[in-house]
Structure 1
Amino acid sequence: MDKYELTAKLRAAALAEGFDNLRIAQARELTEEGRRLEAWLNKGYQGKMQYLENHFEKRIDPRKLVDGAKSVVSLSFNYFPEEQQVEGAPKLAKYAYGEDYHYVLKAKLRHLLALLETELGRPINGRAFVDSAPVLERDWAKHSGLGWIGKNTLLISKQRGSFFFLAELIIDVDLVYDGPIKDYCGRCRRCIDACPTQAISEKGYIMDGSKCISYFTIELRDELPAEYKGQFADWMFGCDICQDVCPWNRFSRPHQEEAFRPKENLLEMRREDWMELTEEVFRKVFKKSAVKRTKYKGLMRNLAFLEEA
């Protein structure tokens, strides 16, 4: 089978799995991106996310993650919900309404790897990634033309906005490669102006992760810094502000993935329900959720911080 036919079959299979789009770039070292990452780390923008400092060489060269890698396949999967939380409730990032995307998407990627082996009639050397390994996923998605990296540092698509997950297959298979598209942010600065903690640089395209509400409410294990009281805009887990204000997200449409539908009654929980949340209820509601990452103690810390503001 030639690479054109194989690429077409892979793209069709990805769409059948529920992915919105699939684009491909040739595996190589990302030299320029490596320099930018090094500068970002040197400024301490990673905060206490020390894991971002690890495996630098693997981050910038997928061939060091997968021997013989030839193609980086980037995929997007919509998670925009049909419903929102009740007004006045402490806010969850929309991606956390349903089951943990890491597991849901990883299973779909494994199906695609199996398909490639079947079509080729041989084992392939390849790995599936869903935001869980040293992969510069937004840069690869940009190089393949899945979208452009916006001023809020998220990948944006003209057709879909930015409420989608990214996933990758890095494989030792030659495929048909795509190319990047232009940046359509223009003069817009809504995300910059809307960020309560000024985490986005004045000109955009650089995020100080150590100031991001998502970092504070998910990644940071320490006490939340007092100087940020009153600046979280009621976000208790993650933050969607820079996406909610982005004009391109007027094109977002509700997802169709059953696993990402919110747990029963989750969106109806009011402020008092959250404040009275017990560890038992937390475990039940977030059994298969990404919210487990912050643990019960962390979520209650975040809620208390909101109340103190």
Structure 2
Amino acid sequence: MINIREKYTQLIKAESKRLGFLSCGISKAGFLEEEAPRLESWLNKNNHGQMSYMENHFDLRLNPTLLVDDAKSVISLLLNYFPSEEQNTDSYKISKYAYGHDYHFVIKEKLKELLHTIQSEIGAVSGRAFVDSAPVLDKAWAAKSGLGWIGKNSNLISQKTGSFFFIAELIIDLELEYDHATTDHCGTCTACIDSCPTEAIVSPYVVDGSKCISYFTIELKDNLPQEMKGKFNDWMFGCDVCQDVCPWNRFSKPHSEPLFNPNKELLSFTKKDWEEITEDTFNKVFKNSAVKRTKLSGLSRNIKFLKGEF
């Protein structure tokens, strides 16, 4: 006979599938003992560069029960963003995750709906939704709940679907049936390490965030470092190299979320188009996009750097 925890777990997983999530895994909320020394070491080596927010709320990052009163379960969810079409080959490149609507808003709506269903069907359940919006180690929780393993490029990788997906969480005060971690399937492969244009993967499973093209083109507000000239491989916003070369991404399939479909101009623009982009065009092409975070000034800075102008 099915027990009540199992019944609730099945309901949550069925609803997450209906909402379009790729997969759903559930872990018991508690202190992330193994991750604590790793995070401390990573911060001490200044691998976060100028991302000072990474230093904040150390304890909260490692323990969801400090984020949500009486937290019992961490529901981890994956949402596919792999596109069916990619940019023109004669173009400055944008990371695939930023092709369509800003994922924060798209996922937050789905999480709200999932929580609403849980409360409607089960009763007085309290919880919070997280999409990069608070100090939660999303990859660690997704790995703990069996949705994949953290690869040598520090991304979560799934044998079935690769790694082109977003990770989000719902932390709730309800006990559920818990999933188990899967095994690592990177093996002897070093494709991501060998291909990283700026050698940001300093050793297997360790990425120096302050050397990553995504950090330079999105997070860094200062001038781009001269020693990185010629190493960006035409990436003007983010970078997908370590995912593009990962053998597991041959299993990536195009997403089915209309809001992630790109503006057609984004796909057809050539380098010349990007170099001549106006504020109006920028706002039109990137309406509701994560790229708006850099503003036109940031994108223009990156393009000038790619052209070798400073």
Class of the TM-score when normalised by the shorter of the 2 chains? over 0.9
Which one of 73, 84, 87 corresponds to residue 85 of structure 1? 87
Residue correspondence of structure 1 range 1-309 to structure 2 within 5 A: 2-122=4-124, 124-202=125-203, 204-308=204-308
- Name the SS for the 1:170 alignment partner: strand
Distance 1:50 1:179 in 2: 33
Q: Where in structure 2 are there 5+ consecutive unaligned residues?
A: none
Paired residues of 2:145 and 2:181 also in contact (CA < 8 A): yes
Distance 2:134 2:201 in 1: 24
What do the CA deviations read for 1:281-309 (whole angstroms, capped 9, x no partner)? 11121110000111111000000000007
Q: CA deviation at 1:280?
A: 1.6
What amino acid does structure 2 have at the position aligned with 1:175? L
Paired residues of 2:23 and 2:79 also in contact (CA < 8 A): yes
Distance 1:227 1:273 in 2: 27
What amino acid does structure 2 have at the position aligned with 1:71? S
Distance 1:228 1:155 in 2: 27
Paired residues of 2:265 and 2:285 also in contact (CA < 8 A): no
- Name the SS for the 1:308 alignment partner: coil
What do the CA deviations read for 1:139-175 (whole angstroms, capped 9, x no partner)? 0011100000000000000000000000100000111
Q: CA deviation at 1:229?
A: 0.3
Q: CA deviation at 1:196?
A: 0.9
Distance 1:146 1:293 in 2: 29
Paired residues of 2:131 and 2:167 also in contact (CA < 8 A): yes
Normalising by the residue count of structure 2, what TM-score does the alignment of the two structures yield?
Answer: 0.98
Distance 1:65 1:161 in 2: 30
What do the CA deviations read for 1:27-60 (whole angstroms, capped 9, x no partner)? 0001220111011000000000000000111000
What amino acid does structure 1 have at the position aligned with 2:173? D
- Name the SS for the 1:265 alignment partner: helix
What amino acid does structure 2 have at the position aligned with 1:88? D
- Name the SS for the 2:185 alignment partner: coil
Q: Where in structure 1 are there 5+ consecutive unaligned residues?
A: none
Distance 1:156 1:120 in 2: 32
The sequence identity of aligned pairs, in percent, is 58
Distance 1:228 1:235 in 2: 12
Let me know the Cα RMSD of the aligned residues: 0.9
- Name the SS for the 2:113 alignment partner: helix
What amino acid does structure 1 have at the position aligned with 2:277? L
What do the CA deviations read for 1:112-143 (whole angstroms, capped 9, x no partner)? 10011111222x22000112210000000111
Q: CA deviation at 1:265?
A: 2.0
- Name the SS for the 1:73 alignment partner: strand
Distance 1:244 1:92 in 2: 13
What amino acid does structure 2 have at the position aligned with 1:62? P
Aligned residue pairs, count: 307
- Name the SS for the 2:154 alignment partner: coil
Normalising by the residue count of structure 1, what TM-score does the alignment of the two structures yield?
Answer: 0.98
What amino acid does structure 2 have at the position aligned with 1:290? A
